[in-house]
Structure 1
Amino acid sequence: MKTKLLLVAAIVAITGCAKSSTGRSQITLFSDSELNKMGATSFEELKQKEKISQDATINKYVQCVARSITKNVSKAAHAGDWEVVVFDSDQVNAFALPGGKIGVYTGILNVAKGQDQLAAIIGHEVAHVTERHSNERLSSNQLVQMGAAVGGAVMAQQEVENKETWLMVGLGIAQYGVLMPYSRMHESEADIVGQELMAKSGFKPSAAIALWQNMAKQSKGAPPEFLSTHPSNKTRINDLSKHLSKAERVYQQSTMRPRC
């Protein structure tokens, strides 16, 4: 049992040396090649399952915004071209996956008004990739599972009463006290990194604030922030507003001015 505990501690100590672009320590148990393979597999499955838009005008528009954003992505995050697919769906959604994959649902175009707001969406999603959030989420889930297994073994050895109840309590604490805040932190980080990325790509960073104001109108009845994997719209708007002056300086220094 001591060996298992030491193994978990060693993994955390070794992987905790990774840093996000914001300077935050990260736990990343998976290699880039593993994440890229997962991303490519998931993307292919989605392309088989979801209807792909054949609208030439929409595709050209989305491709233009995405291409402008990805020009400024570090080669360390993805060295090749990014594959961008527009899905014909009313879902208000978009995503980016490791391995250079971007998906945009046509439904989000009803909320993201104009190229700058769409750039805020794509910049946010690409920031999840550049900041290795998928790796962190998979790693944190794996560590929680390892911890539950070790805890279960300890209680079995010590003949703890009601061990199933204690395990459920522990997993609940991990879910609401660790994993959900961790996910909210990722979303907040992607908001800020994405706002700078869109600004560097020549899109007006103030559009990120307007976007989430639009989102707030669409998300009535959302759960309380502490029970959600995402920050509240109010939190996001406040964070982006506080960061706007820095993002505006990045925008003014950019030589890019896309016309999508």
Structure 2
Amino acid sequence: MAYQMQRSHQFLSRFFLIAAALALTACESVQTTQGGAVGITRQQSMMLSAQEVDASAVKEYAQVLDEQKKKGALNQNAAQVRRVRAIADRLIPQTAAFRPDAVKWKWEVNIITSPEANAWCMPGGKIAVYTGLIEKLKITDDELAAVMGHEIAHALREHARERASEQAVTGSLISIGSSILGVGELGKQGAQYAYMGLVGLPNSRTHETEADRIGVELAARAGYDPRAAISLWQKMAQIGGSEPMKFMSTHPSREDRISDLTVYSQRVMPLYEQSKKTR
């Protein structure tokens, strides 16, 4: 039985790798951003167009804002709104270092009243910051710039489009391949788990690392201390619970993240020092 299970796992791994290789041939290879001082040069495979992803984001963002407005949870604290938008106004022009077209996106920045310590940026520059992030962490402007820079970086790199493209192509191939090879629902489910373990989760961790690195550069160029990203994650560790095992997490471990941010915040310190001189 153990031998059969091992052979099954080997088959599923081989099947997934073949499917993944076929999926890559169906996608367009693109470089969404310039490398910047942090040197992001990874090519990305895209199946979906930027236009359709951006259009979906516009609709979803409008729906989120409408729901929050009905609950009385949208932009309730004027001082917080001014503060967050002022930081965004300094960060957004710096996106030109990675992709000049982003400066002309239809950016929106809104505050959602929620105890959750969270923020996000949808494709095309649709940003939301939760009051829990500001209040629970007693967040400084430098730390808030680190968070917002990180989320903006996801949009610049079009990580949502990349994940959606990957899932669309690989999901179709797994379904077709499972039927052709007769592995049934159990085999199909195993292939999906293999996909998540071998590519899905590691790619998501790659996205997080890229966003961390671009985020500190955006903050530094905007005149915010990039080292604040380190204190930010130290605060997050204090309010957060236990972490999942590293190999099963969509995010890098806190230790790995802080270590990487320490290196890359130092790399962009000259940009920060230069920005301070011109302000």
Fold match by TM threshold 0.5: yes
* 1:32 equivalenced with 2:15 (yes/no): no
Report the CA distance between 1:253 and its aligned residue: 2.2
- List aligned pairs for 1:90-169, cutoff 5 A: 90-109=115-134, 110-111=136-137, 113-155=139-181, 160=182, 162-169=183-190
Aligned residue among 165, 187, 199 for 2:208: 187
Alignment-derived partner of residue 41 in structure 2: 23
Superimposed CA distance per residue, residues 88-127 of structure 1 (whole angstroms, 9 cap, x where no aligned partner): 1111100001122110000001226210000000000000
Structure 2: any 5+ residue segments left out of the alignment?
1-18
Letter in 1 for 2:262: S
Could you list the per-position Cα deviations for residues 133-158 of structure 1 after superposition, in whole angstroms to 9, with x for gaps in the alignment? 11111011112212212212321xxx
Contact 2:32–2:156 (Cα < 8 Å) also in 1: no
Q: Which residue of 1 is the match for residue 110 of structure 2?
A: 85
Does the CA contact (< 8 Å) of 1:18 and 1:28 recur in 2?
Answer: no
- Whether the 8 Å contact between 2:32 and 2:158 is mirrored in structure 1 is no
Report the Cα offset of residue 203 of structure 1.
0.2
Cα separation, 2, equivalents of 1:184 and 1:9: 19
Q: Distance in 1 between matches of 2:138 and 2:159?
A: 23
Tell me how far apart the structure 1 counterparts of residues 138 and 119 of structure 2 sit (CA, whole Å).
11
Paired letter, 1:137: R
* 2:177 maps to amino acid: G
> How much does 1:47 deviate?
0.7
Aligned length: 248
Q: Indicate the SS of the match to 1:16.
A: strand
Identity of aligned residues (%): 31
Question: Are the aligned partners of 1:202 and 1:257 in contact in 2 as well (CA < 8 Å)?
Answer: no
Matched, 1:234 2:251: no
Q: SS in structure 2 opposite 1:185?
A: helix
| 2:47 aligned counterpart, secondary structure | coil
Give the counterpart letter for 2:91 in structure 1. Answer: I
Q: Is the 8 A contact 1:184 1:230 kept in 2?
A: yes
Q: How much does 1:78 deviate?
A: 5.0
Aligned to 2:9: none
- Retained in 2: the 8 A contact 1:201–1:257? no
What do residues 57-112 of structure 1 show as CA deviations (whole Å, max 9, x unaligned)? Answer: 11111111111111212342351441100011111100001122110000001226
**Cα distance, 1:5 vs. partner?**
10
1:178 Cα deviation after fit:
0.9
Contact 1:82 1:100 survives alignment (8 Å): yes
Task: In structure 2, give the amino acid aligned to 1:82.
Answer: W
* Distance change (3 Å), C-alpha of 1:11 and 1:213: same
Indicate if the aligned counterparts of 1:77 and 1:129 stay in contact, CA closer than 8 A: no
| 1:10 to partner: Cα distance | 3.5
Instruction: Give the alignment's TM-score, normalised by structure 2.
Output: 0.82
**Scaled by the length of structure 1, what TM-score is found?**
0.88
How far did 1:196 drift? 0.5
- Alpha-carbon distance change, 80 to 9 in structure 1, aligned in 2, over 3 angstroms: closer
